[in-house]
């Protein structure tokens, strides 16, 4: 077995992502599925948004956004209304149920983050966050929304 320090960064990122996703499967406890928390986060800061803007700012394809939004509307996490003079567009807004689910999601992920960063100093936590932000920016060409 290779020394962990000899593993490439992409392997470490992938394995960390797998563990994070495995732990996140418990998010169903708050009634959210994959992709929904980031849509709720966006809607909290951008009330009454167009579906295309949600897709763009959540880094998901339009078709994926449509599926996520349809499921969220059926679960009463969001509501939608047609845009006047545009049959295809609709305004999307978060509901009180969506706000509550997102609050529970934040509380849950805070415990995961606490566990993940348990042996980090405050400076290391800040550096780690900075590295993630810069890595994202380097790959996408824009900041995380």
CATH, residue 83:
1.10.10.10
Domain count, the chain: 1
Q: Is residue 106 included in any domain, yes or no? A: yes
Q: Compute the distance between CA of residue 38 and CA of residue 54 in angstroms, rounded to an integer.
A: 9
Residue 72 lies in a domain: yes
Evaluate whether residue 145 is within a structural domain.
Answer: no
The three-point CA angle 67-70-76 to 5° equals: 140
Domain that holds residue 132: 4-140
Residue 91 resides in a domain: yes
Residues 6+ apart with CB under 8 A from 96: none
Task: State mean pLDDT over 122-130.
Answer: 96
At 16, the pLDDT band (50, 70, 90 cuts) reads confident
The enclosing H or E element of 89 equals strand 86-94
- DSSP letter for 46, please: S
Average pLDDT value for residue range 97-125: 93
Residue 53 pLDDT > 80: yes
CB contact at 8 A, 117 and 125: yes
């Amino acid at each position: 077995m290779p020394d962990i320090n000899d593993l490439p960064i992409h392997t470490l990122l992938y394995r960390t992502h797998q563990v994070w996703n495995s732990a996140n499967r418990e998010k169903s406890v708050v009634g959210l599925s994959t992709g929904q928390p980031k849509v709720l986060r966006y809607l909290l800061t951008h009330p009454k948004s167009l579906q295309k803007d949600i897709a763009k700012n959540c880094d998901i394809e339009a078709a994926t956004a449509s599926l996520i939004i349809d499921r969220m509307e059926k679960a009463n996490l969001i509501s939608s209304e047609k845009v006047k003079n545009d049959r295809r567009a609709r305004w999307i807004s978060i509901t009180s149920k969506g706000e509550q689910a997102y609050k529970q999601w934040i509380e849950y992920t805070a415990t995961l983050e606490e566990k993940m960063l348990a042996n980090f100093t405050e400076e290391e936590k800040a550096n780690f966050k900075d590295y993630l932000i810069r890595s994202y920016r380097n790959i996408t060409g824009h900041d995380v929304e």
